[in-house]
Amino acid sequence: MRTRHVTAATFSADDLLADRTLRGSVFCRALTERTDAFLVDVFDAGSPPDKTALVAVGGYGRRELCPGSDIDVVLLSGPNVDVSDFAQSLWYPLWDAGFKLGHQVGTVEQILDVADGDLDTATSLLAARYVAGNTGLATELADGGRDQWMGSAEANLEALTTRVAERHGQHGEVAFHLEPELKEGRGGLRDVHSLAWSEATEPVLHTSEAAGLSHAFEVLLTVRVELHRVTGGRSDRLLLELQDEVAERLGHGDADQLMADVAAAAAAIRWVGDGAYRRIRRALRDRRWRWSTGRSRPDVVELGDGIMLDDDRLFLAEDVPVGDDPVLPLRVAAAAAARGAYMDRLMLQHLASGSPPMPDPWPDEAREHLEALMSTGPDLVQVVEDLDQAGLFVRLIPEWGPCRHRPQRNAYHRFTVDRHLLEATAEARRLRHMVDRPDLLVVGALLHDIGKGYPGDHTEVGMGLVRTIATRMGYPEPDVEMLVAMVEHHLLLPDVATRRDLEDSGTILAVAQSLKSQSLLRLLAALTEADSIATGSSAWSRWKADLVGDLVARVDYVLAGGDVSELVVGLFPSPEQRVLLEGGEDVASGDGSTFTVVTTDRPGVFSKVAGVLALHGLDVLDASAHSEGGRALSVFRVTGVFGQAPDWAAVADQVERALAGRLAIAARLGERSRIYRQAPTSARPASPRVSVDNETSDVATVLEVSCPDGVGVLYRITRAFAELDLDLVRARVQTIGSDVVDAFYLRDASGSRITDPDHLAEIELSVLRWVTVDL
């Protein structure tokens, strides 16, 4: 039976939600105060027994209530005080008012017993705050919670760091995720809470770190509040489809700027957290060492020039004249990365405030230390991030600034622009054996996408930036031009390898004429691999690696003076395939990743087979077609869903039905598209575009189609070709994130290249229509 309580209608926060001037912590405090007042009224109206208190804990205790937050409270009672009836009078009004309530009931001793074995309860009590009732009980719980936490400091820290690592593994990086989890991800709001809990036992944060942490926390809290306003409920994942609206509400120019701010804040939280936990682990380790040995850890090692190494911490001796040496930050950074050490945070502050600017041009020593740093592999990432967070890296390379934390906002790229460049450089170290100039390889990798931070085509912009940067760094003119050429052509090899026929001599000659140099070719081959691996898991496959390797080998042969006509090329059709063509029987069979169809030559064969493959969830990587004597051969190379082997018997059965006109391909694809509708994976899907290349091949017109990916895209495009009675000779199909870039070698009905502008215009019209039509 319910006891008397305040009605749900007495609580409303609608005015707070509507007031767009209330943002971030200001909104949270206002909502907390409103909630406190309501809870006090409900508490008092229930006629509380003596020796009872209502205490806010967790986020509510910290006054961080967002629109969709839970209300976590503890109802305390003195020993032998029965509060069961009163508790009901308290909880029901809160439930009726729509609160998501997390509640505990017990004595101080009982609650502390629970906290002793439960990390979540223990950490929530660190924010215990009096709301109503007996202040003495509330104070006793808050003090007891803190004392108990401190009394098991080492065990709590170990449990906390384990929990943090598990949470990071589950939710990923806020700074890099396309749809970041603002609260639980690495660099998210929960990391700031965890740092506060750690600081309660082992204070390690420097003043500047605490200030940066506070600012970053406010950025993410502001976004979280607005996200809750937009969704009307609890949602801590900033979905792609919501980013524009949240950006508009917060006054950002666009969602790119919003996500850059989110990434910058998350990176700052991650950086402070990494440093803090490193110092905590070090403090605990040193303490255990002293306890077990009765002495301090071994003395530090001097590396030269006043650079000191204390285990894995690198710092400067006190007498080093920081203000006299502009190269010192690079010298220290290179030494740290070479030893897998981290740079002392106070030293970084000292360098940032005291080191002079680098001369223009750089002295040779500075360039050598930069090359050494960039040649250390994965260890360079953390070291450059240290320099960057301290403001030292952008001082060395001012053009780096617009790339910092710049989001790419698609599923294809796993990192922001700046982190991608560092990851590519780290990968490049592994490939130094491929090139004559490993120094240029790592610097070129560092700068190849620097134009992405600026308006315009990132390659063209990047060429100008790199010429300026390399000249300032003191590189001789031939090296400057080589670095510029690396930026100019950094997409050439992967684009040609995946979109052009490598058995066409025109393709090989065109690449050779563009590069002119074996040295540049080898630099680009290594850069292509490093760039692709750093981009994401889907950007560098065995298939792509083989294609790029094949292209490089052929172009290298020509650049070495070989005759392109002497290159050994694969035969299509092969002798075995010719037997099938001449046999007179229809064939539809799969083997491994290859599906082969032989049938009577007629319009639409290729398109129908592509449609059936799409119905089975198979992605076409490469396809070839040939027809003669009234017979048609089509060979598809595919990849299955999640790497599973295709059910070739089922595919063959449906292909036979499709070719006999007994399968409603378009209708079935339309249904599959509705069932398997993909969530957006890019902020800016490609607008459908058709381009024509009549220069590369002497035997066919290359038609390149770019459009958003979707069910049956290859079927749609090639259906347009069938409509116009075009002969499809070769198809190269590539998915880049949420977009496809497909290249088709086409001939007209007479077997010639297509050069008539009107005919090409009709092809473009048909293709653009089919890729946008709703099946």
Question: Domain check: are 560 and 429 in the same one?
Answer: yes
Closest Cα to residue 720, out of 601, 606, 596? 606
135 in the same domain as 34: yes
What CA–CA distance (Å, rounded) separates 298 from 642?
52
The answer to whether position 383 is within a domain reads no
- In a domain? residue 130: yes
Rounded Cα distance between 524 and 494, Å, is 10
d(CA 184, CA 521): 44
**Phi/psi of residue 614, nearest 5 degrees:** -65, -40
pLDDT band at 737 (very low <50, low <70, confident <90, very high): low
Of all helices (H) and strands (E), which one includes residue 266?
helix 255-293
Query: What is the distance between the alpha carbons of residues 57 and 62, in angstroms, rounded to a whole number?
Result: 7
What Cα–Cα distance (Å) separates residue 15 from each residue in 20, 22, 31, 128, 374?
10, 10, 10, 28, 54
Q: Is 672 found in the same domain as 637? A: yes
CB atoms within 10 A of CB 571: 10
Distance CA 438, CA 417 (A): 22
Residue 307 located in a structural domain? no
**Is residue 533 a contact partner of residue 415, using CB atoms and an 8 Å limit?**
no
| Whether residue 709 sits in one domain with residue 649 | yes
- 3-state DSSP call for residue 102? strand
- pTM for this predicted structure: 0.89
Residue 386 maps to a domain: no
- Distance between CA atoms of residues 279 and 268, nearest Å: 17
Give the pair of three-digit tokens for residue 427: 């990968």
CB atoms within 10 A of CB 215: 12
CATH number at residue 250: 1.20.120.330
**What domain count does the chain have?**
4
Q: Angle 30-35-37 (CA atoms, 0-180°, nearest 5)? A: 100
More confident of the two residues 145 and 602 = 145
Last residue of a domain, one of 241, 273, 293: 293
Q: What is the mean pLDDT of residues 405-423?
A: 91
Establish if 25 belongs to a structural domain.
yes
**Same-domain status, 145 and 167:** no
CA-to-CA separations, 725 to 356, 414, 600, 698, in angstroms, rounded: 69, 41, 15, 20
Convert the pLDDT of each residue in 91-136 to its tens digit.
999 999 989 999 999 999 999 999 998 999 999 999 999 999 999 9
**What is the rounded average pLDDT of the residues 525-549?**
92
pLDDT surpasses 80 at 568: no
Quick one: 535 and 593 in the same domain? no
511 and 616 share a domain?
no
Among 657-661, 722-726, 771-775, which is the least confidently predicted range? Answer: 771-775
Residues 616 and 661 in one domain: yes
Question: Which pLDDT score, from 0 to 100, does residue 710 have?
Answer: 83
Listed residues 95, 120, 151: the one ending a domain: 151
Q: What is the DSSP string of 415-460?
A: S-HHHHHHHHHHHHHTTGGG-S-HHHHHHHHHHTTGGGGSSS-HHH
* Residue 711, domain member (yes or no): yes
DSSP state of 713: H
Q: How far is CA 618 from CA 45, 445, 500, 661, 709, in A?
A: 65, 34, 22, 21, 13
Interval 15-42 mean pLDDT: 96
Contacts of 606-609 with C-beta under 8 Å, sequence gap 24+, read 606/634, 606/718, 606/721, 606/722, 606/728, 606/731, 607/715, 607/718, 607/719, 607/721, 607/722, 608/655, 608/658, 608/659, 608/663, 608/665, 608/715, 609/634, 609/636, 609/655, 609/658, 609/659
pLDDT of residue 759: 97
Rounded to 5 degrees, φ, ψ at 726 are: -95, 150
Q: 491: closest CA among 531, 536, 549?
A: 531
Verify cis geometry, omega within 30 degrees of 0, for the bond prior to 361: yes
The candidate with the shortest Cα–Cα distance to 730, out of 643, 577, 579, 625, is: 625
Query: For a pLDDT cut of 90, what percent of the chain falls above it?
Result: 76
Give residue 642's pLDDT.
Answer: 65
| Mean pLDDT, the chain, integer | 92
Question: Residue 138's domain is classified under what CATH number?
Answer: 3.30.460.10
Compute the distance between CA of residue 764 and CA of residue 9 in angstroms, rounded to an integer.
62
Closest CA to 636 of 718, 559, 710, 563: 718
Within-domain flag for 378:
no
Backbone angles phi, psi at 152, to 5 degrees: -120, 45
Only one residue has tokens 């315009």, namely 456
* Same domain assignment for residues 690 and 619: yes
Q: Helix and strand tally (H, E) in the chain?
A: 31, 17
Of the three residues 109, 128, 151, the one that is the final residue of a domain is 151
pLDDT at residue 295 is higher than 80: no
Pairing mode, strands 631-639 and 594-600: antiparallel
Helix (H, G, I), strand (E, B) or coil at 628: strand
- E strand residue ranges, 532-630: 587-591, 594-600, 619-628
- Cα 719 from Cα 352, distance rounded (Å): 61
Range of the domain at 681: 577-772
The pLDDT confidence band at residue 27, using thresholds 50, 70 and 90, is very high
Please indicate, yes or no, whether residues 472 and 507 belong to a single structural domain of this protein.
yes
Q: Is residue 311 part of a domain?
A: no
pLDDT bin (cut points 50, 70, 90) of residue 624 is: confident
One domain for residues 56 and 71: yes
Predicted local distance difference test score (pLDDT) of residue 677: 66
Strand 71-77 relative to strand 689-693: parallel, antiparallel, unpaired?
unpaired
DSSP state of 237: B
Q: Are residues 583 and 565 in the same domain?
A: no
Q: What is the pLDDT of residue 285?
A: 80
User: What is the mean predicted confidence (pLDDT) over 390-414?
Assistant: 93
At residue 6 the predicted structure's pLDDT band, cuts being 50, 70 and 90, is very low
CA distance 118 to 114: 6
pLDDT band at 215 (very low <50, low <70, confident <90, very high): very high
